[in-house]
Amino acid sequence: MQEENAFQMPLIGDVAPEFVANTTNGTIKFPSDYTGKWVILFSHPADFTPVCTTEFMTFQSMIKEFNDLNTEIIGLSVGTLTGHLAWIEAIKKLKYRDWSDMDITFPIIDDMNMEVSKKYGMIHSHSSNNKTVRAVFFIDPHGIIRAILYYPLTTGRNFDEIKRTLIALQTTDAFGVATPADWLPGEEVVVSAPSTTQEMKKRLSGTDKNIDVKSWFLTLKKLSEKEITEKLHKRPNSKK
């Protein structure tokens, strides 16, 4: 039996739930303020916590890399605006890795009433009733949720994987391909499997020298990192 206050988590392919929220960068209306851009919306358990601090500094260190991919970052926790601002100021005084005097420039949502957290299924009751887990939502320029990652409170996120996932999604949209296990830009991509007997026979004939046919259902082709970079950086990315 579901709890009375249970909320349905949004799923991959759903329209991102709308909200208006106060942030450290002012009021935002989501997703309308971000139309035409990709967004990584992430939650963290609390301000002034060690793992979250390392994550914020890592996100900030990569902000230009994400912006170059037409992507904005938005953070969220069950905390107040004043608490977020005080934490940002404290982070600026820290030295971590080779970073110091760091300004956190992306917005952090004031979600003290847990309105946004509940809409996005960021509160997992068996973990905590008042802290968000480490959720990551990849939302495309049309406001559609394209991927979701969850990490527990104790485990910091893998930022190489976050960027890899973003590029993989954008590559799928830009080139109409899929990406295999552990794919990195520059490696072979997956061509869609044939859907008819005629297409299958043509695929197996070996006449197309631009593809590597492992089997009729597994076909790869080369796609250089340069091609991907030029296309993803050339124009705003959109779902076909």
Closest among 230, 223, 4, 12 to 125, alpha carbons compared? 4
Kindly give the interhelix angle for 225-234 and 159-175, rounded to the nearest 10 degrees. 80
- Between CA 63 and CA 40 the distance in angstroms is 11
Strands 95-96 and 189-191, by their bridges, are unpaired
Handedness of CA 201, 207, 211, 215 (dihedral sign): positive
Q: Are 153 and 131 in contact (CB under 8 A)?
A: yes
Q: Which residues have a catalytic role annotated?
A: 52
What would the two tokens of residue 20 be?
Answer: 């208006």
- Between CA 220 and CA 223 the distance in angstroms is 10
- Between CA 154 and CA 26 the distance in angstroms is 30
